[in-house]
Amino acid sequence: MAISKQKKTELVAEYQALLERSRGMVLTSYSGLTMKDLEGLRRRLREVGGEFHIVKNSLLDRAAKQIGLNLPAEAMRGTTAIGFAGEDVPQVIKTIVDLSRETAALRLKGGVIEGELFSAIQVEQLADLPPLPVLQAQLLGMLAAPGSRIVGALAGAIRQVVTVLKAHSESEAAPAAG
């Protein structure tokens, strides 16, 4: 069924608004995805602050170009649905990648995060990264490790000096007592 020019204009404006307010997005092919799976994915994405929309490629491409975003041509072939992420981009990516691993009907095409293009393989690799709080804790541990080693080495050296001084003072006190 043909879409009227007015409807196309409205869709381009809607896509443009989604692109502008999203910090990241995952482009997928959804051929063969059941409505039940689609609704389940939408529900899971809403829980993590994301959205999932089926889009018309030519209109999405037009909206992207209007805001200065060039989407890869290979991502604009076939059926396209996009997971849009607000604040929690990694969780939205992980949710979509997990579902794509569960069902062959949802295939990754690529992604865009903060204007940077990512291939489908890179999107999968991003999904496998630990959550931000875990990465922060690991980084903090790495930064603290050298300091604790220095403190340990200094404490060991001080203990040795104290032990030598104590032994020396005891050896001088022993002849005086005898």
156 and 102 part of one domain: no
**Last residue of some domain: 110, 129, 148?**
129
Q: Is the CB of residue 12 less than 8 Å from the CB of residue 79?
A: no
55 and 143 part of one domain: no
177 and 96 part of one domain: no
pTM score, whole prediction:
0.70
For residue range 7-43, list pLDDT tens digits in order: 989 999 999 999 898 899 999 998 888 888 889 889 9
104 and 144 part of one domain: no
94 and 176 part of one domain: no
52 and 66 part of one domain: yes
CATH label of the domain that carries residue 48: 3.30.70.1730
Number of domains in the chain: 2
| pLDDT for the residue 81 | 92
| pLDDT for the residue 28 | 92
109 and 47 part of one domain: yes
92 and 166 part of one domain: no
H/E stretch holding 107 reads: strand 107-113
116 and 134 part of one domain: no
Domain that holds residue 148: 130-178
**Last residue of some domain: 88, 105, 129?**
129
* Residue 150 scores a pLDDT above 60: yes
In percent, how much of the chain has pLDDT > 70? 97
36 and 10 part of one domain: yes
**What is residue 54's three-state secondary structure?**
strand
Q: Where are the alpha helices (DSSP H) in the chain?
A: 5-21, 35-47, 57-66, 89-102, 120-127, 132-177
**Last residue of some domain: 114, 129, 144?**
129
125 and 145 part of one domain: no
Between 48 and 157, name the one with better pLDDT. Answer: 48
Estimate to the nearest angstrom the gap between the alpha carbon of 90 and the chain centroid. Answer: 3
17 and 38 part of one domain: yes
For residue range 81-132, list pLDDT tens digits in order: 999 998 888 889 999 999 899 888 889 999 988 888 888 899 998 888 877 7
